Amino acid sequence: MDKLLESMLPADIYLRFKMVSLAERSNCFEMKLEEKSELVPSELSDIPSVVLDGFCNPLDLLHFSIKDKPLYLRLYRRRWKASCSDIHYSNHYDLHPSGAKTTHEFASFLKGEVGLTADEYIGFLLNTKS
């Protein structure tokens, strides 16, 4: 399973997140991924007692389709804090192009090969099924 995920996910996502679930909906697939717990933010690297404190709001990114259905990657970044503090820290990654909610790879594909925006592509997929 790990080799399959490595081949289908962008490297920057595969290296930083682990898959928690994959759900098939009527019109899409949704893959839930959580940031790996060993990726403590650099701001906390010198603090001896660091604790996990939940997750940031999820980020949904459109990626390449599976079985003619859009695949959404729902990414959860972890929240961290020093055990003696209420200040939260999280890692920040460049996971999507500015102004687009797609992976970099999928945005390049849509723009260069297909000539569609992400919204136009979703409309195209939904219209080909009817």
Average pLDDT over all residues of the chain? 89
Closest by CA position to 13, among listed 51, 39, 50, 42 = 39
Taking the C-alpha atoms of residue 80 and residue 82, their distance in angstroms, rounded to an integer, is: 7
For residue 29, the model assigns a pLDDT of 96
Task: Identify the DSSP state of 68.
Answer: T
Taking the C-alpha atoms of residue 85 and residue 120, their distance in angstroms, rounded to an integer, is: 46
For residue 114, the model assigns a pLDDT of 74
* Residues lower than pLDDT 70 in the chain: 126, 128-130
For residue 128, the model assigns a pLDDT of 66
Taking the C-alpha atoms of residue 45 and residue 30, their distance in angstroms, rounded to an integer, is: 33
For residue 124, the model assigns a pLDDT of 76
For residue 129, the model assigns a pLDDT of 59
